[in-house]
Amino acid sequence: MLTYSFENIGKESIYEYLYKCIKKDIIEGRLVKGEHLPSKRTLAVNLGISTITVENSYGQLMSEGYIYSVPKKGYYVSDISGVARRLDINRIYHQTGQILEAFHLQHGLSL
């Protein structure tokens, strides 16, 4: 069962903190491809939080490709090799844009 402590989350929302914890567990291999995740209700009861909070966290993870759902079966960890590549490409694209912007500003060029 997934267990996380919400004692020291600071200003972060519970949904966002839970989303980041599960995402980290997937990226670091503690949750592996094809692993069945707890139902929204089971996880909410286990953690003492709202089912809506778990639903929002799972929804964010699904939208980013970290998990997927099978109707009437539940949520499962995705193969994240493609997700990691997409995130790397997005990060490189963003960093390249920042470098180009700095270059243009430094040399008095317009974008």
Residues 6+ apart with CB under 8 A from 44: 50, 51, 53, 54
- Provide the pLDDT for residue 92: 66
43-89 per-position pLDDT tens digit: 999 999 999 999 999 999 999 999 999 999 999 999 988 665 555 56
H or E element that contains 85 = helix 81-106
67-103: b or e for each residue (b if 16 or more CB lie within 10 Å)? beeeeeeebebbebeebeeeeeeeeeeeeeeeeeeee
Instruction: Give the whole-number percent of the chain exceeding pLDDT 70.
Output: 86
